Amino acid sequence: MSNAIIEVHDLTVRYGNTVAVDGTSFEVRQGEVFALLGTNGAGKTTTLDVLEGYLQPSSGAVSVFGLDPSRDRDRLASRMGIMLQEAGFFETLTVRQTITAWRRFYDTPRSLADTVALVGIEHRLGTRVNALSGGERRRLDLGLALLGHPEILFLDEPTTGMDPAGRRDCLELVAGMVTEGLTVVLTTHYLEEAEQLAHRVAIMHRGRIRRMGTLGEVLTGASESTVSFDVPVLLAQRLPSGLDAHTEPRGSTTEITVRTADPETTLRALLGWAESHRTSLERLQVRRGSLEDVFLGLSDDDLPASGDGPARTSDPIPMGA
């Protein structure tokens, strides 16, 4: 029996003549982090808008906890936490006033003290929102999204504007809550965040999901690895035949980069060649194909143009108010 709490079947969203989401289908399971990846205009944010109940699909079917997110938005509000790309704060309120105002919209909200401690802004309680740094505003965003103890959390570019320490804290917080049963739908331009957090990823391109599965499934056979090293200039001309090698002069040495679908076999061959020529492979590195390689390698030749719709921000009043 499926434990999916989000089900999307043949979702299509149009803005006039522009198709932002083009027949997309997927599901999100209880207790997992599901990452939607793609370039600007891929359809990620539009898809989240539909899941969160802000936008009705042009066609297709979407359910969250078995409910229609647009029609049943009020029933779902208390079960969902939403962190948009940019929140619509009242800029002249302090952090304390902002959280206090938001708490009124939940039956059993987190306390003010717990909320600011959770996201590390307890020292900014008396600061007006318009005086917060970009990273601090994102921390406040996250605190508000977690205020009602949600069962599912939507994170749209959650760490944009955060410094490295803030990004680390945010990811560790989310990962910890997932171990306690929270379900997360994540969009991010930082692919390492998806690699660190996501149980499954879906790569969207021009409104369609082009690849989907666990990281291992998406990466398997999807991209080449590289073996790079330096050798003396004269030996660079005597490399084993059949290699897909790129050479780059570096003074007395040449940097060699070999692309290969079988890095282990290639590496063994190169080490044997180096031994036979009584040399070493200096600065040897083996880099396996990454999620970024898959992401950048997608071809769009067979796909029509589409867009992601207007950039979204939240209202100053949380969903369900």
Per run of 10 residues, the mean pLDDT along the chain (length 321 residues) is: 87 94 95 90 91 95 96 93 83 95 93 96 95 92 95 92 88 93 91 88 90 80 78 89 87 89 87 92 83 64 44 45 38
CA distance 172 to 312: 26
User: Minimal CA–CA distance to 203: which of 38, 43, 51?
Assistant: 38
CA distance 316 to 256: 55
CATH number, domain containing residue 190 = 3.40.50.300
In a domain, 295, yes or no: no
pLDDT at position 305: 40
| Shared domain check, 258 and 191 | no
Report the DSSP pairing between strands 225-232 and 253-260.
Answer: antiparallel
Bridge partners of 82? Answer: 154
pLDDT at position 287: 79
pLDDT at position 1: 44
User: Minimal CA–CA distance to 161: which of 46, 96, 47, 83?
Assistant: 83
| Shared domain check, 155 and 140 | no
| Shared domain check, 37 and 9 | yes
Report the DSSP pairing between strands 33-37 and 59-64.
Answer: unpaired
Residue 206 and residue 304 in contact, taking contact as beta carbons nearer than 8 Å: yes
Which of 147, 165, 184 is the C-terminal boundary of a domain?
A: 147
pTM, entire model: 0.75
pLDDT at position 211: 86
User: Minimal CA–CA distance to 36: which of 163, 179, 154?
Assistant: 154
How many domains, the chain?
3
| Shared domain check, 137 and 99 | yes
Q: Which domain holds residue 128?
A: 90-147
In a domain, 135, yes or no: yes
DSSP assignments along 91-116, one per residue: TTSBHHHHHHHHHTT-SSPPPHHHHH
Which of 147, 167, 194 is the C-terminal boundary of a domain?
A: 147
